[in-house]
Amino acid sequence: MKRVSFDPSWPESVKTSHFYDELEFWQSRSNLGYTYGYENRFKITIDLVKKAAAAPARVLDLAAAQGNFSLTLAEMGYQVVWNDLRAELVDYVRQKYEFGSIDYRPGNVFDLQIEEIGYFDVIVAAEIIEHVAHPDQFLKKLSLLLKPGGTIVLTTPNGGYIRNGLPRFSDCPDPSIYESVQFGPNSDGHIFLPYADELEVWAKKADLKLEHLILFGNSLTKGHAKTGALLPFLPKSLIFAIEKLTRTGPKISNSRLNSAMAASLTRSA
């Protein structure tokens, strides 16, 4: 994957994508909590894709933005379809492209039709479900795009995290009130943060089985609770050793201590 130099003539959405590339993929040290959190999430997501299907399986990368998952998976031999609402990002992703199979299909996931896009072995939905007003319907839509036995790999902030102040989806009598603000960017666009028990209920309704659930991203790794100032002075190996330790405790404490969730959901064969 090529590194792209900043261009002041880019549209704002492309400038924002480049900013996050610096933090997420090119290891800027300006916000280590964000960088370490993304590194964790990226590795876990790629590992779950590899467990779900071997290359050259067909992968849909939803809300793929600057395409780091798309480009990496293509370079690993997967046949990737990149999707995002922002069509102007296609040219930016192409500038980073080196090799592999990528098809670009910008647009709203709810408008994707099987007749046009086909079925997938794996769908990557990283940091999306918390931005939709009807997460249960979102999973049903994705399930319809999967081949029998196919898998959705998703990541999301964890609703059970001790610092989460957003409501549970199951406690909301009318989620449609959030439809006008769904698909908003970054954490400003979060509507509901899924809880592990809710995710399992949504999965069953969509004819999906929860295969793997990983809670990760403690406060130190993410730089939360005023720990961000410590990160430049602590060895990365120590930070990730503590991160590993906080994933191995009892389920209840893991849910409260870790701010992120990754899951793989498999459609019935």
Domain membership of residue 4 (yes or no) is: no
Domain membership of residue 6 (yes or no) is: no
Per the structure, the complete domain to which residue 201 belongs is given by 12-267
Domain membership of residue 157 (yes or no) is: yes
How many domains does the chain contain in total? 1
Domain membership of residue 206 (yes or no) is: yes
pTM over 0.75: yes
User: At 143, which CATH number?
Assistant: 3.40.50.150
Give, for all 269 residues of the chain, the pLDDT tens digit: 999 999 999 999 999 999 999 999 887 889 999 999 999 999 999 999 999 999 999 999 999 999 999 999 999 999 999 999 999 999 999 999 999 999 999 999 888 888 889 999 999 999 999 999 999 999 999 999 999 999 999 999 999 999 898 889 989 989 998 888 888 777 678 999 999 999 999 999 999 999 999 999 999 999 998 899 999 999 999 999 999 988 888 887 889 999 999 999 999 87
Q: Residue type for 228, please?
A: G
User: Which residues touch 38 (CB under 8 Å, ≥6 apart)?
Assistant: 23, 24, 25
Domain membership of residue 160 (yes or no) is: yes
Domain membership of residue 7 (yes or no) is: no
Domain membership of residue 118 (yes or no) is: yes
Domain membership of residue 3 (yes or no) is: no
What is the C-alpha radius of gyration for the chain, rounded to an integer number of angstroms? 18
* Helix 32-52 and helix 68-75, axial crossing angle in degrees, nearest 10: 40
Ranges of beta strands (E only) in the chain are: 58-61, 79-82, 101-104, 120-126, 146-157, 208-216, 260-267
